[in-house]
Amino acid sequence: MSQHVELLILGAGPAGMSAALAAAPSGMTIAVLDDNPLPGGQIWRDGPQAHLPPQARDMRTQLEQHSNIQLHSATKVVALAGAKRLLLEDAERGWVLSYDKLILCTGARELLLPFPGWTLPGVTGAGGLQALIKGGLRVAGERVVVAGTGPLLLASAATAHLNGAKVQRIAEQASLASVSRFASGLWAWPSKALQAVGLRNSRYRTSAHVVQALGHDRLEAVRIRLGHREEEIPCERLACGFSLVPNVEIGQALGCQVVNRAIAVDQWQATGLADHYAAGECTGFGGSELALVEGRIAGLVAAGENDQARALWPERQRWQRFADRLNRAFALRPDIKQLARPDTLVCRCEDVPLSALTAHNGWTAAKLNTRCGMGACQGRICSTAAQTLFGWEPPSLRAPFTPARIATLVCLDEGGELS
Amino acid sequence: MPDLNIDGQPLRVADGTTVAAALMSVGDQCSRTSLGGQRRAPLCGMGICQECRVSIDGLRRLACQTLCRDGMRVETRP
């Protein structure tokens, strides 16, 4: 079976849901795809230990009520299958879906950077730990250290705390001056988030970063640098993330321009490619409020409602200013790029250490000589790390974009589903 | 409350629990063995890093993007 829709939306987070709901009154046939089992993206991830805000529940209900919106959860984009055609795969089948217009709402992932011990079980991303807890991971009574940069550290620590973990330290690499300048803005997150994790217990430190995760078979302690001194904190978990990077791979493979690691869009959320739009974190990290309004604009424009879309520009501009402020405040300090030692693995799929990469002058040479980036994650972790550490620009991703079944790839030949 | 089996060990979890969350509560809490022989556990929690790839009923799946179902057999060792 091959399927056709007038509007395809990749990603069912705030931007994708918002785009679908904005376009739905037009009567267009709409498909929304997401690789997670439930809609909501990362910020509104549902699960046995998740607490969804009313807005997220309301939007999910509305999605279900529109008969012209089909939601395909747990579905991945495997490859391009010709002009305006994508090869998809879910748990049961592979198939080709064609579209007239596409909105990329592929979100962002955490920037995970190598440091000694980061491959030890017990070490996760900061958002990673939060996602795992929402998904049912029990952390009651465990000692947790949160490290890296950005507001996500506080959100992650709050989730761990609310689920009974003992948060030992929150190490923010940005300086107190940077964080204070940001916090003195209009946005209400710092006071609320800091209260939630008990900042008065003084666990939060600025100009602080992870140096090493220690342990034999799993994490036993974390070494943190605080200014000029170091501390060693025994713990069961380290949640470490260095803010977010946009998921641009599918947009880039389609031919959309990528500038500063984000899909470039104009004021209509249009990419340079006709009938292809992008909204939310894949166009630059800015939080869920910005993603919601960008998604709404993209959905309206895709439905031909440009006047309604234009009316939302001031709101988008307001949230964009917050996003700019946030990105300035949490810019990475140079010493964060020096954490890995020669024997620290950079590519976790192919077990390639830093020392094997430094002999090369670019990503392609490193990849061809070391197998770095040739494993299951297709370089999503290590090429992003190499880009941050060495300034190596990753090339466009080649299909399959994600590990897929042979039976799915065969659909490319047949132009339809393999039954 | 699905009942599943991880590396031969029976386990009952709350509805909506991901396989990643489930496997982090039994055995060595790991999901795979690396090329160099290290045991690894879920890292990103959101379908990017592939560290949580496991065999579920004979098919390779990402544990963090799969919900536990009754009768599932999950294997983390080759």
How far apart, in whole angstroms, are the C-alpha atoms of residue A246 and residue A232? 33
What per-residue confidence (pLDDT) applies to A418? 42
B48 contacts on A by Cβ (under 8 Å): 109-110, 377, 380-381
* Cross-chain Cβ contact A376/B48 below 8 Å: no
What per-residue confidence (pLDDT) applies to A199? 47
Question: Which amino acid makes up residue A87?
Answer: L
Q: Per residue in A50-99, pLDDT tens?
A: 989 999 999 999 999 999 999 999 999 999 999 999 999 998 899 999 99
Domains of chain A: 3-109+245-326 (3.50.50.60), 112-242 (3.50.50.60), 340-390 (no CATH)
Please tell me what DSSP assigns to residue A165: -
How far apart, in whole angstroms, are the C-alpha atoms of residue A391 and residue A381? 14
- In sequence order, what are the residues at sequence separation of 6 or more whose Cβ sits closer than 8 angstroms to the Cβ of residue A103? A7, A8, A9, A10, A16, A19, A269, A276, A277, A278, A279, A295, A298, A299, A302
What per-residue confidence (pLDDT) applies to A181? 75
Compute how many other C-beta atoms are within 10 angstroms of the C-beta atom of residue A97.
Answer: 21
What per-residue confidence (pLDDT) applies to A328? 87
How far apart, in whole angstroms, are the C-alpha atoms of residue A34 and residue A76? 7
Q: Average pLDDT in the A127-152 region?
A: 96
Q: Per residue in A265-303, pLDDT tens?
A: 999 999 999 999 999 999 998 889 999 999 999 999 999
Nearest-CB residue to B20 (from A46, A135, A403): A135
What per-residue confidence (pLDDT) applies to A201? 52
For chain A, what is the mean pLDDT?
Answer: 92
What per-residue confidence (pLDDT) applies to A70? 97
Q: What is the pTM of this model?
A: 0.94
Nearest-CB residue to A35 (from B36, B38, B65): B65
* Cross-chain Cβ contact B30/A121 below 8 Å: yes
Q: At A374, is the pLDDT very low, low, confident or very high (cuts 50, 70, 90)? A: very high
- Whether A184 has a pLDDT exceeding 70, the answer reads no
* Cross-chain Cβ contact A121/B44 below 8 Å: no
How far apart, in whole angstroms, are the C-alpha atoms of residue B61 and residue B74? 10
Region of residue A141 (left: phi > 0; alpha: psi -120 to 50; beta: else): left
How far apart, in whole angstroms, are the C-alpha atoms of residue B29 and residue A117? 17
Q: State how far the alpha carbon of A108 is from the alpha carbons of A18, A25, A288, A399, A412, in Å.
A: 17, 28, 11, 20, 28
- Whether A189 has a pLDDT exceeding 70, the answer reads no
Nearest CA in chain A to B13: A136
What per-residue confidence (pLDDT) applies to A18? 98
What per-residue confidence (pLDDT) applies to A419? 36
Q: At A417, is the pLDDT very low, low, confident or very high (cuts 50, 70, 90)? A: very low
- Whether A114 has a pLDDT exceeding 70, the answer reads yes
Instruction: Check CB contact of A403 with chain B, cutoff 8 Å.
Output: yes
Contact B49, A381 (CB under 8 A): yes
Q: Which residue has the higher pLDDT, A182 or A409?
A: A409
- Whether A414 has a pLDDT exceeding 90, the answer reads no
Q: At A182, is the pLDDT very low, low, confident or very high (cuts 50, 70, 90)? A: confident
Selection from A37, A52, A53, A33 nearest residue B17 by Cα: A37
Q: Average pLDDT in the A130-137 region?
A: 97
B39 contacts on A by Cβ (under 8 Å): 121, 217
What per-residue confidence (pLDDT) applies to B14? 96
Domains of chain B: 3-75 (3.10.20.30)
State ipTM: 0.98
How far apart, in whole angstroms, are the C-alpha atoms of residue B10 and residue A116? 35
Selection from A90, A107, A105, A98 nearest residue A9 by Cα: A105
Q: Which B residues in the span 26-65 are in contact with A, Cβ-Cβ below 8 Å? A: 28-30, 34-36, 38-51, 53, 59-61, 64-65
Q: Which percentage of chain A shows pLDDT scores above 70?
A: 94
- Whether A350 has a pLDDT exceeding 50, the answer reads yes
- Whether A198 has a pLDDT exceeding 70, the answer reads no
Nearest-CB residue to A136 (from B16, B39, B51): B16
Q: Average pLDDT in the A215-230 region?
A: 96
How far apart, in whole angstroms, are the C-alpha atoms of residue A163 and residue A141? 9
Q: Average pLDDT in the A374-400 region?
A: 92
Q: At A413, is the pLDDT very low, low, confident or very high (cuts 50, 70, 90)? A: confident
